[in-house]
Amino acid sequence: MADVWGRFWNAAREAAGLPEGFTPYNARHTGISWAIDKRVDLQKVRQRAGHGSLEVTSRYAAILDERDTSLADALEEIFGGSPAAAGPGHTPAELDDAAELQFGTE
């Protein structure tokens, strides 16, 4: 069964243009973080994520509150600057500028 899942995951990951090291675990945490950043109710995120307590889900909110843009910058580079990748309140151009400063890309 793991082989079947792996084939499906790898095909979807490649079709999305994601790097080989991007795992379902990364996708799960990215989705949770994006939902919290979009101000989805933490209780709803907790239920969807299957967390046993709100305390676990709240850790994501605490991390996002620090507004460390390095992860957002890296994700923007992965997704190639699409408007959806920019996230709330940011344009792809703003993230391009940030990525250039951090990664030295053009």
Give the model confidence (pLDDT) of 56-92 as tens digits.
999 888 877 666 667 777 877 887 765 444 455 555 5
CB neighbour list of residue 1: distance below 8 Å, 6 or more residues apart: none
- Predicted TM-score (pTM) of the model is 0.56
| The pLDDT value given to residue 95 | 46
Parse the chain into domains and list their residue ranges.
Answer: 21-66, 68-106
